[in-house]
Amino acid sequence: MPDEPDKVTLELEQHEALVLLEFLGRIHGDDQSVRIEHRAEASVLCDLCCMLEAQLVQPFCANHTETLEAARRQVLGPGGHEAG
């Protein structure tokens, strides 16, 4: 069996990435409801936020709030439940 690569690749839909970025931004910011237990967690969190920001333009648009709400609805799907 060949050696496994050192990298992990994740694929997200744009709407999923936008919702995730918003959530991670809150954790990395002032939200104290999730406790970062180790500096390495904070480092990876920051890196992930930077990677998502580099891929998304929506967070920097004037209509970010509306776009985020639409993305959240799309993630939940019809009826407000998680989409398949």
Give the range of the structural domain holding residue 26, as residue numbers without chain letter.
Answer: 14-75
Q: Does any domain span residue 5?
A: no
Query: What pLDDT is stored for residue 78 in this prediction?
Result: 80
- So what's the pLDDT on residue 81? 67
Q: How many domains does the chain have?
A: 1
The answer to whether residue 35 sits within a structural domain is yes
Specify the amino acid at residue 45: L
Domain annotation covers residue 63: yes
| pTM listed for this prediction | 0.75
Q: How far apart are CA 44 and CA 40, in angstroms?
A: 6
Q: Is residue 4 part of a domain?
A: no
Q: Is residue 60 part of a domain?
A: yes
Q: What is the pLDDT along the chain (84 residues), one digit of tens a residue?
A: 566 788 888 899 999 999 999 998 888 777 677 888 899 998 999 999 999 999 888 777 888 889 999 999 999 988 776 655
Query: Looking at residue 63, what is its pLDDT?
Result: 87
